[in-house]
Chain A
């Protein structure tokens, strides 16, 4: 594993279209997180998976957003009927099972930059 992979790196879409992003975490990491980041702001939490179970969703995750992690490995984030306000960097991160003796935090991917025109 070379880290967390995200695909695509960039996506330009027209308003109203659906888009889907993919995240491949580090293979032994059972926890996976999605964040959104707009210009000048820190990353904002969207949702979190432990294995295939989606354990938490932010209020930022409107009904147009859906995330899945069907086999506890890769994850997808879909945005339906995109709006200009959805333009942002979408970041994925993963972390290993709780060790109890110290965590080095998350490993982030390089993100998918979405532009809605």
Chain B
């Protein structure tokens, strides 16, 4: 799987949009961008994934650049409960294989 690069940590004020960037310059044509988050003392939780079109669900939006070399996860109205480590992963969808996690971005939502 392709590697990703994420900032180590970010702060965001409560109620504002949190924009988490991810670089994946070596992504292959059949690899999707997945985002997971891990709240303290819990297992990682799936957020969203996409191939090349922007995606939105009840949790977040995913914006993928046209060249697919980077993406941004957007939490539109961050709350204190969004404080977590966010992992950006690229992998082939439905591949019968393991997910490889990096260190992710530690997002602090400030009151």
Contact = CB atoms under 8 A, between A and B. Distances in A.
A99 B100 CA distance: 21
B30 interface: no
Decide if the interface of chain A is mainly helix, strand, loop or mixed: loop
Nearest to A47: B98
Contacts, number: 60
A50 B97 CA distance: 10
Nearest to A9: B41
B9 to A, nearest CB: 11
A74 interface: no
Contacts of B15: none
Closest 6 CB pairs of A and B: A108-B43, A42-B101, A105-B46, A45-B98, A103-B94, A98-B94
A28 to B, nearest CB: 16
Given A104-B46, A106-B46, A45 B100 contact: yes
Interface string B90-109: 00011011111111100000
Interface in A90-117: 91-93, 98-111
Contacts of A85: none
Nearest to B106: A40
Decide if the interface of chain B is mainly helix, strand, loop or mixed: loop
Contacts of B93: 102-103
Contacts of B42: 108, 110-111
B103 A40 contact: yes
Contacts of B85: 42
A48 interface: yes
Nearest to A40: B103
A4 B41 CA distance: 15
